[in-house]
Chain A
Amino acid sequence: MKATLGEKWFYGLNYVILTLAALSCLLPILNIFALSFSDSNSILNGSVNIWPKGFNLEAYETLISGTPIVRAFMNSLLITVAGVAFSLLFTILAAYPLSRRGFTGRRVLTLMIVFTMLFNGGLIPNYLVVNGLGLVNTYWALWLPALVSAFNMMIMKNYFENLPDEIEEAARMDGCGEIRLILRIVLPLSLPMLATIALFYAVYFWNAFLQVMIYIQDTRLLNMTVLVQNMIRSQSMMQFINNVQPEDMQAIAPESVKSAGIVVMIIPLMLVYPFLQKYFVKGVMIGAVKG
């Protein structure tokens, strides 16, 4: 069948708009990369677009020597890795029993969890609980309140429910106990879904911001998000760049250092993103179709 004139227009427009949308996502990030590698003259006279002008690494040297970015990076890593492990474990502990038809109280308990999606104790009551448990200024204040996300739990529960019964029955016939069934059969069959949920939790913990501002007062424990935000906000970079002499400051534009901070935050995401893309698309669809 031949495409009509109207259809040709339709397809042409479609490609143009989507290309523009994709560029709108790419160009700001390229601009930040370029700024972080450029010298201060080019930045101040505004000639930096998406390619560095006067290439140098001084912004990164300043960032590493003058700010606690390395420590903040390690803190973010610790918060993320441990947080994902705890949350994944607890989400499995919640989702597996709730996915079993014979589980006593299944309906009530599911409702109890879903209700927290619709109504929750706000900022201050949560703070009072965390503070009352003595968790302030420890990472437990970040990990414990986020152990189970109701949304992720529902995705996981739906996935477990849709695993074929036959495999489970066959395993039971062979005398496979419940714990072994979970570890040897259910979880290995659910790897794509588990990867998706792990990714969602990882993004949550890596990007943690408000929680850190509320619960962590010790500056040595701050993560990257809060540190970089403080850098972006500060009018003078001097309070962060305390190791650098004032005369050296001429060479580096504050924009450059801020951009370098943002780049350092983006890079770990960029590294894992391509590998996880196929998983999260599938994961969201699982939640969407059966949710």
Chain B
Amino acid sequence: MAYTEKKPEEAAPRLNSGKGSFRSGLSRRNRVWMCMFAPVLVYFIVFKYAPMAGYLIAFKQYNFTDGVFGSPWTGWDNYRMLFSDPTSLQTIRNTLVISLLSVFVGFPFPILLAIMFNEIRRVWFKKSVQTLLYLPHFLSWVIVGGLVVTIFSQETGIINQWVERLTGEPFPFLYREGSWLAVFLGSGVWKNAGFGAIIYLAALSSIDPSLYESSAIDGAGKWRQIWHITLPGIRSTIVLMLILSMGNVMEVGFDQVYVLQNATVSRIADVISTYVYRLGLQGMQFSLTTAMGLFESLVGLILVVTANRIARRFGQQLW
């Protein structure tokens, strides 16, 4: 609180003495800012950077008594084990398949929704549809998983009531690999598409309306306007979002898989995050699963950097 009150006689000469006093004011403010930032710096070192040192145990045989630094080194042994074990290889493959599918299936929907919202003129309709479509983003995966399991349940689920009426018998949506994957991807789209559209709507609002007017005078129809004005207008946002989603490719959210998976589909549904949780935290295999985690993070980092490189070539880079 020492900096909050400034007496007038102290402040007065400062106004007259030019640049030097600006400097001293700045350095005084700098001290306040440093005091503010200090706890944040401690937080980032302890909770963000110290765990990175924990990656060391990927190359060690970790045990609790010796700790991260005392445990014996084992070199690449953990990786040799990971890449020779069919289960962990399958897990890596599942992660890639599920996440690539999630990115490419999920990516167009927010763009489509944004373009469609943009063409609606009735405010009440737009408002109420947006309210409903943004809502799933705020529901936890436990709720969405509960909804999915309830709706697709074989005995009492509402979808299977209709399927039974049409085909005579219920379909085990969540217990066949193909349909499970479809339900999984669909639930991801359902939860995220609406909210994802907001960012594109922001980009659309910055397109000059006169472009539409002049193209309409030149006789361009709605489809041509969307193709030649709307889409190019949000191109940089699309590229940006694509780069960001590349960073998440290796990171299939734990919650979504965990709440939707079951023993019948575990062959295709076990991903790195559930593998690390099950083997690492429940099975106490810290070193092996950390090796897996480090692999996941590094591939993610390489993907983002590469995507940014490519985007830079088109002048759309993130950094």
Asked if A and B are interacting partners, one says yes
Interface of A with B (CB < 8 Å)? Answer: 1, 4, 6-7, 10-11, 14-15, 17-19, 21-22, 24-26, 28-29, 31-32, 35, 43-44, 46, 48-49, 90, 93-94, 96-98, 100, 102-104, 109, 112-113, 116-129, 133, 144-145, 147-148, 172-173, 175-180, 203, 206-207, 209-210, 213-214, 225-226, 228-229, 232, 253, 255, 258-259, 261-262, 265-266, 269, 273-274, 277, 280-281, 284-285, 288-289
The docked-state distance in angstroms from the alpha carbon of A2 to that of B6 is 67
Contact B129 A21, beta carbon cutoff 8 Å = yes
Contacts A90-B40, A117-B247 known; 18 new A-B pairs at CB < 8 A? A6-B222, A7-B222, A18-B117, A21-B113, A25-B133, A26-B132, A32-B147, A46-B160, A46-B161, A90-B39, A97-B34, A119-B52, A119-B300, A121-B52, A176-B6, A179-B4, A225-B142, A229-B259
Contact A209 B199, beta carbon cutoff 8 Å = no
Interface of B with A (CB < 8 Å)? Answer: 1, 3-6, 8, 11, 15, 25-26, 28-30, 32-34, 36-37, 39-41, 43-44, 46-55, 57, 68, 113, 116-117, 119-120, 125, 128-129, 131-136, 138-143, 145-147, 149-151, 153, 155-156, 158, 160-161, 164, 190, 194-195, 198-199, 201-203, 206, 216, 221-223, 237, 247, 254-255, 258-259, 273, 276-277, 280-281, 286, 289-290, 293-294, 296-298, 300-301, 304
A120-B52, A129-B46, A229-B259 known; A281 vs B8 contact (CB < 8 Å): no
Contact B280 A123, beta carbon cutoff 8 Å = yes
Chain A contacts of B48 at CB under 8 A? 116, 120-121
B276 CB contact (under 8 Å) in A94, A124, A180, A261: A124
Chain B contacts of A113 at CB under 8 A? 44
**Chain A's nearest CB lies how many Å from the CB of B164?**
8
Contact B120 A31, beta carbon cutoff 8 Å = no
Contact B296 A214, beta carbon cutoff 8 Å = no
The docked-state distance in angstroms from the alpha carbon of A168 to that of B207 is 32
B55 CB contact (under 8 Å) in A49, A93, A104, A125: A125
A121-B55, A273-B138 known; A129 vs B50 contact (CB < 8 Å): yes
A103 CB contact (under 8 Å) in B33, B161, B289: B33
The docked-state distance in angstroms from the alpha carbon of A256 to that of B300 is 42
**Chain A's nearest CB lies how many Å from the CB of B29?**
5
A24-B190, A28-B151 known; A175 vs B6 contact (CB < 8 Å): yes
Contact A22 B133, beta carbon cutoff 8 Å = yes
Contact A18 B37, beta carbon cutoff 8 Å = no
17 sample A-B contacts, Cβ–Cβ < 8 Å, listed by A number:
A10-B119, A26-B132, A97-B36, A100-B29, A119-B300, A123-B273, A124-B54, A124-B276, A124-B280, A133-B46, A210-B254, A232-B146, A258-B150, A265-B142, A280-B134, A284-B202, A285-B198
Contact A14 B54, beta carbon cutoff 8 Å = no
A178 CB contact (under 8 Å) in B32, B57, B206: B32
Contact B120 A102, beta carbon cutoff 8 Å = no
Residue among B44, B149, B216, B294 having the largest count of chain A Cβ atoms under 10 Å: B44
A6-B223, A43-B156, A119-B297 known; A128 vs B51 contact (CB < 8 Å): yes
The docked-state distance in angstroms from the alpha carbon of A213 to that of B150 is 23
Closest to A207 in B: B140
The docked-state distance in angstroms from the alpha carbon of A118 to that of B304 is 8
Closest to B162 in A: A46
**Chain A's nearest CB lies how many Å from the CB of B216?**
7
Contact B145 A229, beta carbon cutoff 8 Å = yes
**Chain B's nearest CB lies how many Å from the CB of A86?**
10
Chain A contacts of B1 at CB under 8 A? 179
Residue among A15, A119, A172 having the largest count of chain B Cβ atoms under 10 Å: A119
Contact B30 A104, beta carbon cutoff 8 Å = yes
